[in-house]
Amino acid sequence: MLRVASFFAGIGGLDLGFERAGMEVVFQCEIDTFCQKILKRHWPLVPLHDDITTLGASAIPPADLWCAGWPCQDLSHANTDRKGLAGQRSGLFYTFMELVAEVQPTWLVLENVPGLLSAEHGTALETVIDKLEENGYLGGWLSFNAADAGLPHHRDRVFFIASFRSERAYHIFTDSRELYRDRQEREPSRTKIRSQVRKSTISNAPLVVQRRGGFGYTMAKSICPTLRAQTGGHQGGHSDRPILCGEKLDVDRVGKAYGVSSRMDGRRGRLLGNAVVPTVAEWLGQRVIEVHSNTPASN
């Protein structure tokens, strides 16, 4: 069983997905106090460190795979003044890589927003790849949308998968039929994994959207727009994207929303928006386990 150390763990989206794939989470690092409560509730026996800038390599238990969804604020398109990897928050990527260089885990799985691809005029992506190669990691990156996993909303993320001084990670990217799924094979698999909420979007059930001055609902056509958080208390004008601005989501007002807690508010919405979809992480974890088990470390 592969052991996982999770950095910038958030509410544990990657952790949960990797556990479902058959891995064991043995360490977590997360600075947000609300996220810490969630992690401690679901992983009460796993050591949890709060601040990666004060974390020493000796405090990290042995782990085969390190995962990190490092802060995206300086890379995201939502930030009009994004500083890229030079920013204070997204620049924590370098702090993480300093620990990687010292410990040299077998596998790395990194995650961030699509804004990474264009940040710093495209050089931020090159910097991440160069830093991985500089420390002996070979692999690649892919873009994965939550909708591709049969979930009823769009959430596109960029994932890096790399193996230390080995070409094993390349095997995850070489079989494009498995990676992107053959169209004839895709429909049965999608039908099998679709949740009830996915089926409801196809049948045009009401879904929550933002309306002027508050929340309303509309008839879904295919995929629910992404729920997003917004700073401040003002709802803004009309939009087809649900927004939480610190206030509680009135589920009774907008009708039943499968999987949406009646306690949903801006803080919880932000944490959900930052989290990796566990179904996506599970698929990635399964691929890593398959390659790790069937390919010699020298390959």
| Sequence ranges of the domains in the chain | 3-185+273-294, 196-257
Does the pTM exceed 0.75?
yes
Query: Which pLDDT does position 189 carry in this prediction?
Result: 42
Distances in whole angstroms, Cα of residue 156 to Cα of each of 74, 114, 198, 273: 17, 7, 17, 11
The confidence band for 200, taking pLDDT boundaries of 50, 70 and 90, is very low
Please state the φ and ψ torsions of residue 198, each to the nearest 5 degrees: -65, -45
Question: What is 3-185+273-294's CATH number?
Answer: 3.40.50.150
Closest C-alpha to 69, from 15, 137, 139: 15
The whole-number average pLDDT for the span 258-285 is 78
151: its two tokens: 């979930």
Q: What DSSP string runs through 46-80?
A: S-EES-GGG--GGGSPP-SEEEE----TTT-TT-T
The whole-number average pLDDT for the span 220-242 is 45
Give the pLDDT confidence of 272-286 residue by residue, as tens digits. Answer: 778 899 999 999 999
* 190 has a pLDDT exceeding 70: no
Give the pLDDT confidence of 17-59 residue by residue, as tens digits. Answer: 999 999 999 999 999 999 999 999 999 999 999 999 999 999 9
The whole-number average pLDDT for the span 88-99 is 96
Q: Burial of 225 by CB count in 10 Å (0-12 exposed, 13-18 middle, 19+ buried)?
A: middle
* 216 has a pLDDT exceeding 60: no
Give the pLDDT confidence of 121-147 residue by residue, as tens digits. Answer: 889 999 999 999 999 999 999 988 887
CA 108, distance to chain mean position in Å, is: 14
